[in-house]
Every structure is written in C-alpha cells, then in structure tokens.
Amino acid sequence: MKYKPLGTSGIMVSEIGFGGWGIGGVTPGPTSYGPTDDNESQRALESAFDRGITYYDTAGVYGKSEELIGKTFKHRRGKVVIGTKVGFLEHHTPQDFSRKNIIATLQKSLKNMETDYIDLYQLHNPDLKNLPMDEIVGTLIKLRTQGLIRALGVSVKHPDHGLTALWYGEFTSIQVNLNMIDQRAVDNGLIKQAGEQSVGIIARTPLNFGFLTDNGKTMNLDFGLQDHRSVWSMEQRVAWQKAAHLLSEVCPEESLATLAMRYCLSVDGVSTVIPGMLTVDDVLANSVAVELPLNQKTMFEIRHIYHENDQFFVRQ
C-alpha cells in the first residue's frame, strides 16, 4: 500500500481507503445497499487493515457503520485515520449545520466510535453558498483547537460545489464523486485547482455504485425498495450498464473493478480512493489496483470514451 498526505493537515492516508456506507446495513427508506452481516463487515474491516488500508470514511447516517469501525479499531485507534460527517440527522430529514448540531453530532460520533477525537470532520453535501459559512467554519476551527477534530473537510454533492469550498481556504480535503463514468471533477478543474491549493481529494464512488464491476454488467436492475439505487430512473440504470460494457473493452484482460480503481488512482491530485467494501473478497479485489497504475495511453482512451458518450448521464 502507498500513502499520501491529506492536504496540509500532516495526516497521511492510504491510497485506497474504506468507504463505510455499505457496511452500515439497512437505514430508513431507499438509503442503503440492503441488509448486511455485522460479522462479515468486521472481517472486511480487519482485512482492510491487514492490507495496509488506514483511511476509513463513514457518517452518523450510515446505519451501524460508525459503531462497527469504532469497535474494530478501538484498541489501535492511533493506527487508523477516521473521517466522518455532519449535516444529516437522517437521510430523509432537512440538513442542519447549526453550531448546536455540529457539536451534538460530533459528540454522538465520538460515542459511537468509542474515541476521543475524529481525524477528519466533513460537512455532508452542504449548499455552501446559502449557509452561514463564517459561523460554521468558526465552530469547526474551535473544535479543532480543542483537539476534538484534527482536520476540516467537506463532502460535496456536485464538483462545482467543491470549487466553492476551495474559496474558503480552511478545508483540508474535498470528497467528490470520481469514476470512469463520472469525470466531472476533472473536467471542471476541481482536482487540478485543489492540488494547486494543497487541498486533498477523496474520490468516492470509484465503482459507480457497483456498475463498474463485472457483476454490474449483468446485474438485475430492479433494485429493492431499500436500495438507494432504486431512486434512479430505469433509463439511467440501463445507460450506466451500457457504459460498463463499453469501458470494459479498454482492458478486457482484467476485471472492470480493477480498471475502475486504477483509473481513479491514476488521476493526479487524488489523495485516497474510497470504494465501498462489504466482504473480504471486496477488500482483496480493490487492494490489487494500487500496484497497477494506468499508462497515459489507457487514461486517454478512458477519457475519450467518456467525452464521446454524454448519454452516460440521463437528465432526471
């Protein structure tokens, strides 16, 4: 495993991190990947640690995710980097970035994970232009001064929001969607500008919600009601499945998931890539990618396919 600095925070993170949404299990509404087995989730976390993965990304609204991560690493807390988020009380409720909720959510996360500090505390999909950011950032800085958090971050819904986040100058990292189907964070200059400002990039959804896997090319697109992918139109699901078939032709000799991970790892400026991993097999499959960076020719081919196929995204 290779390690990179997360912005200017002094925190080092593994190039491949652990996306903790999936292991949280079922949450109210279409907001999860369905039922999970806690024992299997812990085995996946243990396997990730054994493979050198040190960054674990979670949120209080990810079901049991915080508790599982806390339980697994309680006695080796200093050997892992944990990032969690604030803003959502539940997936279906309005966001709350008030000082009171920021502090209350942090205290709850500390309790859930049985720790006395959080390495990276991230605003969860905020509408930065319509929030009292001076107050919010001031609250986070005070928590950092108190030693309750080590660094401030933001997880954005759209790459353009990441450009807004850079303007504030206090965020160590920006978490954003990045994969072979969704390269908007490259196109709008976010990743390049973040690098110029020494802000780390956490690349989420590298497998595009499971579509960029060999199973994704043939999986049943009628997702269960608890599965968050059920909210996407069938037209969008079909488009993503077609994209998976098209992109798999770039390197037919290897798995699509490995190619997808290699793409994200090869984008200059990315600090860590956080695929969701539910099983030990997932961990092993994703870990292989760190050993195989893509050459410029392959990167160009992936970029070309993306730009020639704007139908990858269906307007909702």
Domains and CATH numbers, the chain: 3-208+257-291 (3.20.20.100)
Name the token pair of 31.
Answer: 């907001």
- Rounded Cα distance between 246 and 242, Å, is 6
Whether the CB-CB separation of 27 and 63 falls below 8 Å is answered with yes
User: Could you read off the pLDDT of 210-256 as tens digits, one per residue?
Assistant: 999 999 999 999 988 888 898 889 999 999 999 999 999 999 999 99
DSSP symbols for 151-209? EEEEE-SSHHHHHHHHHHS--SEEEEE-SSS--HHHHTSHHHHHHHTT-EEEEE-TTTT
- Rounded Cα distance between 269 and 154, Å, is 16
Instruction: Report residue 314's pLDDT band, with 50, 70 and 90 as the boundaries.
Output: low
pLDDT of 224: 85
User: Could you read off the pLDDT of 131-153 as tens digits, one per residue?
Assistant: 999 999 999 999 999 999 999 99
pLDDT of 315: 56
pLDDT of 212: 96
